Amino acid sequence: MLTPEQTRAYLDRLDIDEVSAPTKENLDRLIYAHQTRIPFETVNLHRSGAAPDLSTEVIFDRLITKKLGGYCFELNKLFQELLETLGYDVRPVLCRAVRGRDGRMPINHRGIIVTLDDGQYSADVGFGGPMPAGALMLAPGKEQSICGETYIAERTDHAWWKIDRVTRAASDFFDDGLPSRRHTELELCSASVEDIDFDALNLSWVRPGTLFHDHEIVNLRTDDGFKGFKDGVLTVKRGADKIITECPDDATVDAVLLEHFGLDYRR
């Protein structure tokens, strides 16, 4: 649980005055604010080559005090602590990223399930790719429109769900020139796990040869689209418009990270 001071600082970071009750409406507000204000990013991980410290105090210092970002094992852990503090019934779950992969990936993502009066919801602020901008009910086959995007959860067996998105993208969420189709973004396991179960995954996914170790990646939702950065290339999508900018040197990279994502990694 977060302290009252930590909770207030966290909500200030999200630009939210107060959360009066653990409702679906407030959960949606929290998720959207998180996705638009705290970026998914692997810059520090890539540059240091070290596994992130997953203790609450260290994550809080990075995300809230220093106003940096993190990846799923950091973002969704701290968000879960905020939700627990605000009175939500919440627990972590194991997930697998699906979209854009050449082959099937091992479990590589920490998700969150929130239980409300009408059912269970996925509440994710740390995917680093296309994800619902609010809580997604785990209800088989139900089309759910969230901030103009359509998602569908489907059971694949007694424990696993797949999260599909209706999209026009070919390989990433910046493209939109194709007919609409369903694309599986994420697989989620509803079985109970504990915090310590993510420690080994954290170490596994920061080794040389893995995506998060080898690449500088930043993603942030905006009110009219997305901003993405990977290895010196900035992509800004506003509505139907997409602008791609290549950064010629380290100084330009650091300036882009600061201007577009609020990340101060100036060397």
| Number of C-beta neighbours around residue 170 at 10 A | 12
pTM: 0.93
At 22, which amino acid appears? P
Which residue has tokens 């010196």?
232
Which residue has tokens 């520090």?
44
Helix or strand holding residue 241 (H, E): strand 241-246
Mean pLDDT per 10-residue section of the chain, whose length is 267 residues: 97 96 98 98 95 97 98 98 98 89 82 97 93 96 93 96 80 49 90 94 92 95 95 94 96 97 93
The Cα–Cα gap between 19 and 86 comes to 7
Task: List CB contacts of 77: < 8 A, sequence separation 6 or more.
Answer: 54, 56, 59, 92, 110, 195, 198
DSSP readout, 143-187? EEEETTEEEEEEESSSSEEEEEEEE--SSSTT---S--EEEEEEE
For the record, the structure tokens of 139 come out as 């209800």
Domain extents in the chain: 4-261
The Cα–Cα gap between 171 and 183 comes to 10
Which residue has tokens 């019934």?
89
Q: Is 196 exposed, middle or buried (0-12, 13-18, 19+ CB in 10 A)?
A: exposed
Instruction: Give me the pLDDT at residue 64, please.
Output: 98
In CATH terms, the fold of domain 4-261 is Arylamine N-acetyltransferase fold (3.30.2140)
